[in-house]
Amino acid sequence: MFDNLSQRLQLAMKKLRGEARLTEQNISEALREVRMALLEADVALPVVKAFIDDVRARAVGKEVLASLSPGQAVIKVVYDALVALMGESNDRLQLAARPPAVILLAGLQGSGKTTTAAKLARFLRERERRSVLVASADVYRPAAIDQLRVLAGTVGATFFPSTAQQKPVDIARAAVEQAGKSGIDVVIIDTAGRLHVDREMMDEIQAIHAAVDPVETLFVVDSMTGQDAVNTAQSFNDALPLSGVILTKADGDARGGAALSVRRVTGKPIKFLGVGEKTEALEPFHPDRMASRILGMGDVLSLVEQAQQTVDQEQARKLAQKITKGKGFDLEDFRDQLRQMEKMGGIASLMDKLPGAGEIPEAAKAQMDDRQTRRLIAIINSMTPQERRFPDIIRGSRKRRIAAGSGVHVQEINRMLKQFGEMQKMMKRLGKGGLGKMMRSMRGKLPGVPF
């Protein structure tokens, strides 16, 4: 649906070849493209306007380095400005306080507070070896307290029981008191979802805050949020001394412009990203990655890291060896690669992160679903070892047998053999290839990203 910003910029700035300096005039078209990209990514309009002004001020007068095209030069300015705005590095939780340190979570309905409470508890227990107590001050939503009780059990946090008949402020205060008595390090207080325009509910969260004096007051916000992010963030920031932001549901394909809006409006660091429903799905926030995601340039760095973590290093080494020794990339290797792909979260999750993924037509994307991967694996499974090693021998009757064995049409076998042939060529070109290596070699010369 979205075009790749870097490509669009190259197009907009074609005329500029040879210009030595960025000027008000020669960047105006490029800035229009940047504005579009930001709006498509759901960055709020006032934030977009101010940001573009900021970029213009930074860009005008800049010399275009010999190594960059003017388009690349503009992207670099935009990207740097985005990263700078979102905070230079990833901010940690500040829990240095007389124990128990209190963390208060606040946000709109359904943004992910309760799930995040459990994720934080798990994170603090596992990574920082702290004891954690969680309490729910949500006396409104049906089964909200139950939800936290169950989650607390799964992450091994102490659960402070509360009931819908209590007052939220009393629950919060009692939870902290109890944690103090039992020598627990951290208390996480989950609160009901509330609208920023609901005076009574905003008063309530202020009262809770005053009662427990948290060291961290975190605003939990859905990364799919649209233009209204500025209004809600502003109101929560006015009502509470926020210390940070947690951006949830970042595992989807939203470009997450809300991150920029919220950061801009509150000035508070984004501390974590929620990347799934399970309690381990919490990641530290990286401004640079978010910047390339918002710009539609693909989260290439995360992909590289993910590949390094998941790709079986041993297998990758064997493959590299095989290829350097001049032995061809065969269907066994192809199957290994497909299996790796499945392990890395499937094609969809890879596609999201690749630069230029926006260029791929939706129809083509739909074909590249994970069932396709599984089907390819099934086809290869139906081959004899000899066929896998020497795919050239697969002709008429063999094709029919494989088709029957894997439950597909012969055309599909043809298509996959052709696809494999292309892949083989690419592997040859890569010489010492292998997925892991290929990914690693992308660092530093990311396509379309000049830095």
Partner 1 sequence: MGLFNKTTRAKTDDAGNSVGFLGRLSDRLAATRRGLGQRLATLIRGHSAVDADLAEDIEALLLGADVGIEATRDIIGRITRAQARTPDEFYAELRAALLAIIAPCAQPLTISSDIRPYVIMVAGVNGAGKTTTIGKLAHRLRSEGHSVMLAAGDTFRAAAVEQLQTWGERNGVPVMAQSTGADAAAVAHDAMQAATARAVDVLIIDTAGRLHTQTGLMDELRKIKRVIGRFDANAPHEVLLVLDAGIGQNALAQLAHFDSAVGVTGLCLTKLDGTAKGGILFAMAEKHAIPIRFIGVGEGIDDLRVFDAAQFVDAILPQPE
Is-contact 121 132, C-beta < 8 A?
A: yes
Q: For residues 95 and 368, which CB has a smaller minimum distance to partner 1 in the complex?
A: 368
Selected range binding ligand GTP among 71-79, 126-134, 248-256, 286-294, rule: CB under 6 A: 248-256
Query: What one-character DSSP code corresponds to residue 393?
Result: G
Is-contact 118 151, C-beta < 8 A?
A: yes
Tokens, residue 360: 């791929």
Q: For residues 2 and 140, which CB has a smaller minimum distance to Mg ion in the complex?
A: 140
What is the torsional sign of CA 428, 429, 435, 441? positive
112 contributes a contact to ligand GTP by CB under 6 A: yes
Selected range binding partner 1 among 5-13, 182-190, 347-355, 402-410, rule: CB under 8 A: 347-355
Q: For residues 99 and 345, which CB has a smaller minimum distance to partner 1 in the complex?
A: 345
Q: Which residues pair with 220 in a beta bridge?
A: 246
Residues numbered 273 to 302 that lie near ligand GTP (CB under 6 A) are 274-277, 281
- Residues 106-125, mask of contacts with Mg ion (x by CB under 5 A): -------xx-----------
What DSSP element (H or E) covers 106? strand 101-106
In one letter, which amino acid is 387? E
Selected range binding partner 1 among 9-17, 283-291, 308-316, 345-353, rule: CB under 8 A: 345-353
Omega within 30 of 0 (cis) for the link into 100: yes
Is-contact 323 427, C-beta < 8 A?
A: yes
Tokens, residue 145: 């307290």
Query: What one-character DSSP code corresponds to residue 63?
Result: B
| CA trace torsion 227, 242, 282, 141 (10° rounding) | -80
Q: For residues 362 and 392, which CB has a smaller minimum distance to partner 1 in the complex?
A: 362
The count of chain residues that interact with ligand GTP, using the rule CB under 6 A, is: 22
- Neighbour-count burial of 375, counting CB atoms closer than 10 A to its CB (0-12 exposed, 13-18 middle, 19+ buried): middle
CB of 192 to ligand GTP, least distance (A): 6
> Taking the CA of residue 301 as centre, how many other CA atoms within 13 Å lie in the half-sphere pointing to its CB?
12
CB of 215 to ligand GTP, least distance (A): 21
243 binds, among Mg ion, partner 1, ligand GTP, none (CB under 5 to 8 A by kind): none
Residues in touch with ligand GTP (CB under 6 A): 107, 109-115, 138, 141, 144, 192-193, 195, 248-249, 251, 274-277, 281
> What residues make contact with partner 1 under the rule CB under 8 A?
1, 36, 39-42, 44-47, 49-51, 53-54, 57, 108-112, 140-144, 146-151, 154, 195-197, 222, 224-232, 234, 249, 251-255, 257-258, 264-265, 267, 277, 346, 348-349, 352, 362, 366, 369-371
